[in-house]
Structure 1
Amino acid sequence: MQGVDFVQGEVSVTTHRDHDDLLSSGLGLDGLKGAPAPFANPAHPTSPELRRRAIQTSWKGIADLGPLGGYGTVYGGVPDVPGREYQAFAKIPGAYQPHRVLVQVPDHFDHAHRCLVVTASSGSRGVYGAIALAGAWALPRGCAVAYTDKGTGSGYFDYADNSGVALNGERAKRGTAMLEFEPAETKGEGIAFKHAHSGDNPEADWGRDVLQAAQFGLAMLDRAFPAQAPFTPQNTRIIATGLSNGGGAVLQAAGADAHHMLAGVVALEPNVHMPDRGSALYDYATEAAMWLPCALMDARFASAPFARDANGAPHVAWAARCASLHAQGLLKAAAPEQQAAQAHAHLRRAGWTDQAMATAAASTALDLWRAIGAAYASAYLHRDAANMPCGYHYAAVVNGKPAVADEATRASWWADGSGIPPGHGIGLLGGTDASADPHLVGITCLRKLWTGNDADARALHASVRALAAKLPRKDLPMWVLHGASDGLLPTAFTSEPYVAWLEAEGRQPLYWKVPYAQHFDAFLALPGFGDKHLPLLPYGYVALDRLWAHLFQGQPWPSALPTPAGTARGAGALQKGMLGL
């Protein structure tokens, strides 16, 4: 077996057959759609129970499994795929904290077409966070899949009982087991998590995490099939795919692939940043946190989902934001309607489109911008949980008030958490005052870390420069797909400047800006939201099909391919013709 000297501790090997498979842990599509997979003892769930629930949570967080969404009928599927899993903690040289790597090897691995798909979790999710994309496409085809949580994940550390998450997903006290995330031993309090508090700026290493996961995948294939070893990039095609932050991770990997491990890359809605082009996530997220609540008060967004309250009236908090910006002299108009128009014009000048703003009403209503800003600022400034920027901190909460988490809540975090609180009994606290617009003081502080020039602002900019993607090799097949209506990672800031940069440097990436697709397929199950949109996953599956045909069947890789002309789903169920494929 090939050396994997970056592995920390032991490699866990588990088998998954007989109502406990790789793709759905035995739940099947109907089970994935259903209620959360139960724990026999909620205070002490077993490792298999946690795994099943983590897989279900990852599916529900990424794919549209709603009754109108068409998953399993119009596109995709969740067949039973028995096999083995190999899991370990791995560490990038110089890093303080490990990233979790996991390889799924199906029993029906296709030895005639040796294929390893490597992927990274979307958002800050745990290690199964890309299963609905990479696992769903690869495992039924007979490919193995190597996952990394890319230094993020839901292995939250709770100072209240000095516990984190062991390799098997169960809670463990510091010193009793190797933990997914173990902060420095201080008298901290509240909750710490790896993305924000590792001290590593993990985003800068996402590409290396992906390449390490690919190495781990080859080594585990050697272990699974010793008679066919060695598995190498020369005899095993390695396809990299991911979406959102995972899409950015595989593009980082493409630029860092000095040994030509990767045979092709398919990136969906990537969070990608490059030198002197586009905008960094921290820049447009903190600007959105300040300005979007007011801009969305404009009448042109009255029918956008989440842009008005349950009674169809403007959000009171958003009106307060307009007043705050006026009081600060950032908006000149006195009338609320004119303030909203001026805020809208400000964001248009910054590069936002009306299409992106309309969809971003969901992210604004769900307070995602503030959550992103606080966590990423802490990561970029290498802060620990007790010293976050702008007065923020995380704590267990009950009814919105700081508390000590009960055992059942704490035990469920690894399976249910998104990797960035708030949620599941953890609150984002601080960064507020007693005004009518309580969050503005913290958001303004976060924004000044980008626009200012003090030591913290300079350090944050240095961290953002460190995560810029590098150019991939010229002959690497690449396909970037992005929803035209993405309101979280707008194409104008991410995919479009990235693709333009590649083309200017003599590369020929394929690029689909998919009409009516947006960032969160899972949101399409929400009432009124799916009517206006299409899922992005089916386009990703098609791109992977095309890459497979090129790598294994000799089909030529096109220099260009028109984007399919889909149509919005409407109020009824998704039909195949709507996708335009």
Structure 2
Amino acid sequence: MPTFARYLCTAAVAALTACSAPSTPREEAMSLDFLSGPVRVTDHRGDDDLLSAGLGLKGLAGAPTPFAEADAPTPAELRRRAILMSWKGIADLGPLGGYGRVYGGVPDVPGREYTAFARLPDAHAPHRVLLQAPDAFDKQARCLIVTASSGSRGVYGAISLAGAFGLPRGCAVAYTDKGTGSGYFDTATGTGVALDGTRARAGEAALEFEPRAYDADAGVAVKHMHSGDNPEADWGRDVLQAARFGLAMLDRAYPDQAPFTPENTRIIAAGLSNGGGAVLQAAGLDHDGLLDAVMAMEPNVHLSGRGRALYDYATEAALWMPCALTDARFDDAPLARTEGKPPAHWLARCASLHAQGRLRAGTQTEQAAEALAHLHAQGWTDAVLSTAASTTAFDAWRSVAAGYASAYLRREVGQMPCGFRYDAMDMRGQPTTANPALRAAWWSDASGIPPGAGVGLFGGLDASADPTLDSLECLRALWSGSDDEAVRLHASVDALAAQLPRASLPIWVVHGADDGLIPTAFTSEPYVDWLRAEGRTPRYWKVPHAQHFDAFLALPEFGAAHVPLMPYGYAALDALYRHVVAGEALSDAPMPKPSPRGTEALTSQALDLSP
């Protein structure tokens, strides 16, 4: 590990200013001049805690509790709901899933939280950073888990992975929302989200996100899509800032044990999905040696000249999957049929592709087979397509592509490409004016990518039998075209490429073999192959029967056919923890061979994990 010439003084950390003594470049890298406001400190004990906000496993698995005042929830209510929604969005908490019985757990973990807005030097919008410091911090192990939210979720988005693993072991956990999150800004009222999660007007409080310019009728502004920053390119830097923030806040939390440095504190980075991509980005940027190990689950990782970019395969999937999934081999795929039949607009997609000359076959059955053959040639397998049927059924490919196109092109609110926009949504799915209760719940309830939590994706539809085709063609042209917009989008995607981590950094990648959202063939496998070609020795588990969304396993169709991925992430983290904290050798760890639970409750034998 690199050493400090002099440690950043605790008094300066408390004041968020630099030390008065001359600093070395290493000390400057560890300063907190990246914070853009005060640090908020809260205690969580008694009927509250760090891991579940006092809900416990039963409460997390249950329905959200209404706010006492729907229009004005308290910061404590918002935090509790945000933690609950983050758990529900990621983990399988269903009665047959085995969480808390076969693997994992939600014990009471009292402690404190330290949260602030942080900013990269060239960024327009901040990212949230948060440290959870348990009262039972293991002062001998001195462990910090640093993580980034999955998807575009808020700062608690990885609590079911990093928090559930680290906090019960006495580790502190540092989080970042990595420039995404649910701090939605309502242009009609000029309000956004303050540091404590409550709504506030621009100019009256520091906000999680405030557009640089907007019209009052521009709709809802979302940080990931409208910041003008291409935040995905900075996810690795966000993770490293969160690690530095975590070390500094440990000095505050446990002053008798200060200073906390990379020399005396083991730092493990862990994330899943987009968070997994973020920690792999961080691994390649960790030139100062902050990180001791990295565990990435189902990572959305991009490489230069290898694999496929998310935008590429998402826009391809949005166009071709509706037709391909009408093939009879997907009759039993979850959510692929309505009353035994493919959706009418999926059948219409076959006709559209045929009319364009992309499919030559004359019958619908032959067209489905031809579309399927096209996807096979692009690297999609039947197992992956079967789970991707749910993504297609939810129209999620289009939602992802529309949002990411806006981010890559650095569009402001009201200027999204291909005619898209976000607006408040009524019970019929129509645009409306957001009421105070709807706005108040955005921060706790939204996932960061509309539609959801009363915010809809609008535009890009027509009255034809294939209503999304034209907008999808527009989104695809941003990848396949050669005009200025396509060149700009490709430049933004090129900026996402992960860099080579140092040779001594242990890296463990865990991915579901049946992942239909972030297929291993496009992401983890090219990344692991690249590391090995460059002389690195990553561990890689391609877990049979695992797909992307553990939360979907509560649905009988998914739970019967698939296994959860989370226990394998915990197992990899446990091995890395024992390696960097206790000095145990890191074994090759044979690939588990799990079995789906079928209609019965999950058993430990089905997971095939050594105790």
Using the size of structure 1 for normalisation, the TM-score is 0.99
Could you tell me which amino acid in structure 1 is paired with residue 362 of structure 2?
A
* Equivalent in the alignment of 2:547: 518
* Equivalent in the alignment of 2:519: 490
Residue of 306, 313, 316 corresponding to 1:287: 316
Report deviation, 1:280: 0.2
* Equivalent in the alignment of 2:464: 435
* Equivalent in the alignment of 1:172: 200
Residues in 2 aligned to 1:270 and 1:251: alpha-carbon distance in whole angstroms: 8
Residues in 2 aligned to 1:37 and 1:46: alpha-carbon distance in whole angstroms: 13
1:3-152 superposed matches below 5 A: 3-152=31-180
Residues in 1 aligned to 2:581 and 2:421: alpha-carbon distance in whole angstroms: 50
Residue of 235, 239, 244 corresponding to 1:206: 235
Residue of 287, 290, 300 corresponding to 2:329: 300
SS at match of 2:500: coil
Residue of 385, 391, 395 corresponding to 1:363: 391
Could you tell me which amino acid in structure 2 is paired with residue 440 of structure 1?
L
Q: Could you tell me the percent identity over the aligned residues?
A: 67
Deviations 1:12-48 (A, max 9, x none): 0000000100000000000001110321001110000
SS at match of 1:529: helix
Residues in 2 aligned to 1:368 and 1:400: alpha-carbon distance in whole angstroms: 16
Contact 1:222 / 1:230 at 8 angstroms: preserved in 2?
A: yes
* Equivalent in the alignment of 2:608: 580
Residue of 407, 410, 417 corresponding to 2:446: 417
Residues in 2 aligned to 1:567 and 1:224: alpha-carbon distance in whole angstroms: 43
Residues in 2 aligned to 1:315 and 1:234: alpha-carbon distance in whole angstroms: 58
Contact 1:37 / 1:52 at 8 angstroms: preserved in 2?
A: no
Contact 1:181 / 1:194 at 8 angstroms: preserved in 2?
A: yes
Contact 1:550 / 1:557 at 8 angstroms: preserved in 2?
A: yes
Could you tell me which amino acid in structure 1 is paired with residue 94 of structure 2?
G
Residues in 1 aligned to 2:431 and 2:54: alpha-carbon distance in whole angstroms: 37
Is 1:315 aligned to 2:346, yes or no?
no
Report deviation, 1:529: 1.3
Contact 1:371 / 1:428 at 8 angstroms: preserved in 2?
A: yes
Structure 1 unpaired stretches of 5+: none
* Equivalent in the alignment of 1:470: 499
* Equivalent in the alignment of 1:344: 372
Could you tell me which amino acid in structure 1 is paired with residue 469 of structure 2?
L
* Equivalent in the alignment of 1:333: 361
Is 1:258 aligned to 2:287, yes or no?
yes
Could you tell me which amino acid in structure 1 is paired with residue 278 of structure 2?
A
Contact 2:311 / 2:401 at 8 angstroms: preserved in 1?
A: yes
Residue of 569, 576, 581 corresponding to 1:540: 569
Report deviation, 1:389: 0.6
* Equivalent in the alignment of 2:258: 229
Could you tell me which amino acid in structure 1 is paired with residue 312 of structure 2?
D
Report deviation, 1:160: 1.4
Could you tell me which amino acid in structure 2 is paired with residue 347 of structure 1?
L
Contact 1:290 / 1:440 at 8 angstroms: preserved in 2?
A: yes
Residues in 1 aligned to 2:496 and 2:413: alpha-carbon distance in whole angstroms: 22
Residues in 1 aligned to 2:555 and 2:181: alpha-carbon distance in whole angstroms: 25
After the TM superposition, which segments of 4 or more aligned residues of structure 1 sit over 4 Å from their partners? none
Residues in 2 aligned to 1:79 and 1:485: alpha-carbon distance in whole angstroms: 31
The CA RMSD over aligned residues, in Å, is 0.8
Contact 2:184 / 2:223 at 8 angstroms: preserved in 1?
A: yes
Deviations 1:538-568 (A, max 9, x none): 001111111111112221123x332101111
Report deviation, 1:434: 2.2
Residues in 2 aligned to 1:478 and 1:527: alpha-carbon distance in whole angstroms: 34
Is 1:444 aligned to 2:473, yes or no?
yes
Contact 1:129 / 1:149 at 8 angstroms: preserved in 2?
A: yes
Residues in 2 aligned to 1:420 and 1:37: alpha-carbon distance in whole angstroms: 23
SS at match of 1:104: strand
Deviations 1:81-101 (A, max 9, x none): 000000000001100000000
Q: Which moved more, 1:239-248 or 1:524-533?
A: 524-533
Contact 1:96 / 1:200 at 8 angstroms: preserved in 2?
A: yes
Could you tell me which amino acid in structure 2 is paired with residue 153 of structure 1?
G
Is 1:400 aligned to 2:429, yes or no?
yes
Residues in 2 aligned to 1:498 and 1:449: alpha-carbon distance in whole angstroms: 25
Contact 1:117 / 1:238 at 8 angstroms: preserved in 2?
A: yes
Q: Which moved more, 1:1-10 or 1:405-414?
A: 1-10
Is 1:240 aligned to 2:269, yes or no?
yes
Is 1:161 aligned to 2:189, yes or no?
yes
Report deviation, 1:184: 1.4
Contact 2:129 / 2:174 at 8 angstroms: preserved in 1?
A: yes
SS at match of 1:394: strand
Could you tell me which amino acid in structure 1 is paired with residue 433 of structure 2?
V
Report deviation, 1:315: 1.0
Contact 2:331 / 2:337 at 8 angstroms: preserved in 1?
A: yes
* Equivalent in the alignment of 1:216: 245
Structure 2 unpaired stretches of 5+: 1-9, 14-30
Q: Which moved more, 1:505-514 or 1:224-233?
A: 224-233
